[in-house]
Amino acid sequence: MLTVKRFAALDVMRGLTVAAMLLVNNAGDWSHVYPWLEHAASHGCTPADFIFPFFLFIMGASLAMSLEAQISKGIDVVDIRKNIFWRSLRLFTLGIILHIIAWV
């Protein structure tokens, strides 16, 4: 069985960020929204504007840790790149299909 080393702080930050994204994007009645749940109109900054950068940080840290673990296991870099390419292609295709379904 493969054991995966998890980082609790990264998992907690990921969970809080996803919860914050759901709260900001679905704040309820849009005519009665707390100001900190809305994005800044043109310039300025609200707490809602920090959620996506946190998400990007989490994804970058997770990617670096994942690649480091795969390379330390001796997996060939070419195989890692192939897996990244095919997974990206599948996700992109799934996104296009879901967009077409929602559009029709």
Q: Which residues are catalytic?
A: 39
| DSSP string across 46-103 | -GGGGHHHHHHHHHHHHHHHHHHHHHHTT--HHHHHHHHHHHHHHHHHHHHHHHHHHH
Phi-psi region of 43 (alpha: psi -120 to 50; beta: other; left: phi over 0): beta
Residue 62 to residue 17: CA distance in whole angstroms:
14
Q: Say how far residue 25 (Cα) sits from the centre of its chain.
A: 15
